């Protein structure tokens, strides 16, 4: 019988984390690396990737970086082929890269809508499809973790105007369910994490305005911290969650129960 500690061990696994150079993506990449996974992190900015690589290597984590924009979906096969030429497969895919844009629905720019949907939905699908076909389905094994948001579980609270973001994150949750139903026969688990409010570059403006009221209406009376996604992503990436698929976990201090 496997010891429970070994169920969480990721030694020898290869994990691809998009948007992994900072914020929540870097936090999750670090967690997977600390549990033994070899990492590939992608992002648009080479300087941020270089800094992330230095941070991870100081923790004795094996990491490769790829600067790219996965919203340009035509480049996804090249990205995946490059990783597979360097590593023996992709065992874990964390679809974390995302974007937002704030504007009232009646004035929402078409360009902004397309930017958010292209990255938050289209790139998630086409990257999952490519990794599935080239790496996971042939091995009959894999873990796909889609980073949605509690914004995908409801509408906008007063003071927010992020209709494309909320729409995309709701789509991410149903995409997770649909793909899990199709790929279960290949022994591929597909689940989602729905973070609540974490201090990040993307959320900075909103938290400057609403941070105090968000904490006041959250049961744990706090925002997410630098380690609050680590346990969840390791659980979903490991054999500890092998009988869980098509689910989402809200990591939000209890905000969605109120």
DSSP letters along 58-89, please?
Answer: HTT--EEEEE--TTSGGGHHHHHHHHHHHSS-
User: With bands split at pLDDT 50, 70 and 90, how would you rate the model's confidence at 204?
Assistant: low
What is the average pLDDT value for the chain, to the nearest integer?
Answer: 95
**Which residues have C-beta within 8 Å of that of residue 45, sequence separation ≥ 6?**
21, 67
Closest CA relative to residue 147, chosen from 226, 237, 220: 237
Using the predicted structure, report yes or no on whether residue 208 has a pLDDT greater than 80: no
Using the predicted structure, report yes or no on whether residue 209 has a pLDDT greater than 80: no
Any bridge partners for residue 43, and if so which? 67
236 within a domain of the structure (yes/no): yes
pLDDT per residue as tens digits for the range 136-170: 999 999 999 999 999 999 887 776 799 999 999 99
Using the predicted structure, report yes or no on whether residue 104 has a pLDDT greater than 90: yes
> Rounded mean pLDDT of 116-139?
98
68 within a domain of the structure (yes/no): yes
65 within a domain of the structure (yes/no): yes
What pLDDT, on the 0 to 100 scale, is given for residue 71? 96
Question: CATH no. for residue 123?
Answer: 3.40.50.720
Q: Which of 9-23, 112-126, 150-164, 206-220 has the lowest mean pLDDT?
A: 206-220
Using the predicted structure, report yes or no on whether residue 53 has a pLDDT greater than 80: yes
User: Count of domains in the chain?
Assistant: 1
Using the predicted structure, report yes or no on whether residue 96 has a pLDDT greater than 70: yes
Closest CA relative to residue 210, chosen from 256, 168, 157, 250: 157
What pLDDT, on the 0 to 100 scale, is given for residue 258? 85
pLDDT per residue as tens digits for the range 165-195: 999 999 999 999 999 999 999 999 999 999 9
Any bridge partners for residue 189, and if so which? 143
Handedness of CA 253, 211, 94, 26 (dihedral sign): negative
pLDDT per residue as tens digits for the range 55-79: 999 999 999 999 999 999 999 999 9
> Rounded mean pLDDT of 113-131?
98
54 within a domain of the structure (yes/no): yes
Closest CA relative to residue 42, chosen from 151, 130, 163: 130
Using the predicted structure, report yes or no on whether residue 12 has a pLDDT greater than 90: yes
Catalytic residue positions, numbered:
165
258 within a domain of the structure (yes/no): no
Count other Cβ atoms within 10 Å, centred on residue 187: 14
What pLDDT, on the 0 to 100 scale, is given for residue 245? 99
What pLDDT, on the 0 to 100 scale, is given for residue 156? 77
**The model scores a pTM over 0.85:** yes
257 within a domain of the structure (yes/no): no
- Supply the range of the domain harboring residue 219: 4-251
What pLDDT, on the 0 to 100 scale, is given for residue 199? 85
What percent of the chain shows pLDDT beyond 90?
88
């Amino acid at each position: 019988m496997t010891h429970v500690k070994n169920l969480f061990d990721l030694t020898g696994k290869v994990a691809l984390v998009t948007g992994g150079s900072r914020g929540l993506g870097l936090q999750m990449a670090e967690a997977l690396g600390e549990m033994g996974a070899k990492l590939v992190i992608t992002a648009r900015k080479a300087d941020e990737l270089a800094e992330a690589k230095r941070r991870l290597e100081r923790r004795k984590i094996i990491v490769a970086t790829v600067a790219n924009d996965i919203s340009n979906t035509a480049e996804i096969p090249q990205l995946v082929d490059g990783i597979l030429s360097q590593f023996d497969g992709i065992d874990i895919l964390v679809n974390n890269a995302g974007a937002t844009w704030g504007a009232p629905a009646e004035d929402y720019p078409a360009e902004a809508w397309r930017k958010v949907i292209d990255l938050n939905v289209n790139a998630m699908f086409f990257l999952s499809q490519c990794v599935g076909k080239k790496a996971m389905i042939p091995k009959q094994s894999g873990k796909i973790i889609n980073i949605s948001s509690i914004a995908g579980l409801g509408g906008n609270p007063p003071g927010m105007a992020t209709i494309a973001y909320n729409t995309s994150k709701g789509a991410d949750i149903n995409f997770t369910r649909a793909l899990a139903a199709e790929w279960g026969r290949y022994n591929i688990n597909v689940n989602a994490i729905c973070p609540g409010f974490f201090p990040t570059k993307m959320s900075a403006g909103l938290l400057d305005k609403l941070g105090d009221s968000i904490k006041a209406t959250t049961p744990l009376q706090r925002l997410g911290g630098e380690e609050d996604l680590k346990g969840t992503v390791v659980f979903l990436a490991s054999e500890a969650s092998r009988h869980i698929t098509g689910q989402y976990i809200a990591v939000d201090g209890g905000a969605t129960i109120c």
